[in-house]
Amino acid sequence: MKIYNTLSKQKEEFIPLIPGKVSMYVCGPTVYNYIHIGNARPMIVFDTVRRYMEYTGLDVNFVSNFTDVDDKIIKKAIEEQVDATVISERFIEECKKDMKSLNVREATYHPKATEEICGMIEMIEELIQKGHAYRAEDGTVYFRTRSFKEYGKLSHKNLDDLQGGNRSLLVSGENQKEDPLDFVLWKPKKDNEPYWEAPWCNGRPGWHIECSVMSKKYLGEEIDIHAGGEDLVFPHHENEIAQSETANGKPFAKYWMHNAFLNIENKKMSKSSGNFFTVREIAEKYNLQVLRFFMLSAHYRSQLNFSEELMAAAKNGLDRILNCVESLKFQIKHTDNLAVLEQEASLNEELKGFEAKFCAAMDDDFNTADAISVIFELVKFANTTLNGSVSNLFLQNILETIVKLSDVCGLIVNRTEEILDEEIESLIAERQAARKEKNFKRSDEIRDLLLEKGIVLEDTREGVKWKRA
């Protein structure tokens, strides 16, 4: 298995630190709103990496954080006049719902920044003791960037170029820094902001320190893979490396993986220019499996362009697989051809060939575009075979292979049985009764059960309305 490592700018053979085990950290979203489709790309990509690794027999410890303290969260909390945790908890729940619809599995751990403040204070203390950080007059703690000789090794930037060119590094409080390149580890509280007590001042952590700390706590000082969107390479991941490697005295992550940007109609996604979509908005129009299929139809390191046309094409592509699976299931039910035919030995060999080709694509830095092409070849093979006379067992073998390889991509092709209108109505009635008895657990359960089957409920003045998603 080869992985493109941003650190070496090369594809490298993947050799885990501990044979058979993988420790993987993926930077998660800041939870102040519904996730947008740009957030969904790393979620889908790295979930697929995890699934493929598990398929090959590796045991993956997958950690992804929620950044639940941040300027945007605080701003929203002030607008709504609620506690910041009300906002973050709400959008963590909403994010988890979207992940579920995208068939992105929950991480082994989903740590939240606000629950790991102690660890952050400890690491900052350690960095100060070792001379890599200092407290400025107002209580802000900065990392002394030049004290880490390898700074810039991930983004392949040179310290002096950074100093000369990058004005965006200048932020308020600049004049109290020893060097413009230094970045914040801890900042003093402002009015109305959530804060924690710390030796330097009451305040809150900078963003970069949280990932260094959570990665260490849940995965150890040295990990196999650290991943995220390419916009995180600099400064976020560069700063994480500086913090972790100076604090721990060890290399931080062995492989750094980054997915490329997602554009909308060939333009950068931005709220101000109106080309911005949340995952929820896409869900109004498409089953989110289509979005997942669309995202995987390009290699994760290529820029991906989102457009109505490409989404329609993705829907057609996914439907081709779904239809083939339905035909196979129908055929299996209606064929009583139990005798295994002589020519099936070679057909079975052919079938194994598809799986090998699929793996070869995935082993080459997770080339999902090619891997999906192999699934299409397999669908074609299945459709041809359906016309001939083969045994029930062979049909089952094809079906299993298609379902298995699709599952590695996180694509659900084995449709669950359609739920009937009467069943929906009776579940809604049961939910209403549960709510009357204040049994909210049961009422939520029913809502989730229906959601799983693609039924969305809406509580209105006139009563409960439902629609198929």
Q: Which two tokens stand for residue 383?
A: 């459709």
51 vs 226, beta carbon nearer Zn ion: 226
Dihedrals phi, psi of 24, to nearest 5 degrees: -135, 130
Amino acid present at 81:
Q
Q: Kindly state whether residue 241 participates in binding Zn ion, applying the rule CB under 5 A.
A: no
Which one of 10-18, 27-35, 47-55, 315-323 is the stretch in contact with Zn ion (CB under 5 A)? 27-35
Would residue 36 be called left, alpha or beta, if left means φ above 0 and alpha means ψ between -120 and 50 degrees? beta
- Rounded to 10 deg, the angle between the 117-129 and 238-248 helix axes is 70
**CB 24, min distance to Zn ion, A:** 13
In sequence order, which residues have a C-beta less than 8 Å from that of residue 275 and are 6 or more positions away? Answer: 264, 265, 267, 269
* Residues 6+ away with beta carbon under 8 Å from 409: 48, 51, 292, 293, 296, 368, 371, 372, 375
Inter-residue contact 23 to 219 (CB < 8 Å): yes
Do residues 319 and 312 touch, judged by C-beta distance below 8 A? no
Decide the pairing of beta strands 59-64 and 133-135. Answer: unpaired
For Zn ion, which is the closer residue by CB, 30 or 145? 30
Between 211 and 362, name the residue whose CB sits nearer to Zn ion. 211
Decide: is 43 part of the binding site for Zn ion (CB under 5 A): no
**Which is nearer to Zn ion, 211 or 398 (by Cβ)?**
211
Stretch 406-435: interaction string toward Zn ion, x if CB under 5 A: ------------------------------
Binding piece for Zn ion, criterion CB under 5 A, among 56-64, 209-217, 319-327, 424-432? 209-217
Q: Which stretch binds Zn ion (CB under 5 A): 24-32, 41-49, 82-90, 218-226?
A: 24-32
Instruction: State how far Cα 391 lies from the chain centre.
Output: 41
Cβ distance to Zn ion smaller for residue 27 or 241: 27
In the complex, least distance from residue 32 CB atom to Zn ion, rounded to whole angstroms: 16
Residue span binding Zn ion (CB under 5 A) among the ranges 143-151, 210-218, 406-414, 447-455? 210-218
Q: Which stretch, 9-17, 19-27, 97-105, 356-364, contacts Zn ion (CB under 5 A)?
A: 19-27
Nearer to Zn ion (CB atom), residue 64 or residue 101 = 64
Contact between 263 and 304 under an 8 Å Cβ cutoff? The reply is: yes
- Of residues 354-393, those binding Zn ion (CB under 5 A): none
Q: Is there a contact between 381 and 398 (Cβ–Cβ < 8 Å)?
A: yes
Considering beta carbons, is residue 67 or 331 the nearer one to Zn ion?
67
Considering CB under 5 A, how many residues would be counted as binding Zn ion? 2
- Asked if 211 interacts with Zn ion (CB under 5 A), we say yes
Q: Does 27 bind Zn ion (CB under 5 A)?
A: yes
Binding residues for Zn ion, per CB under 5 A? 27, 211
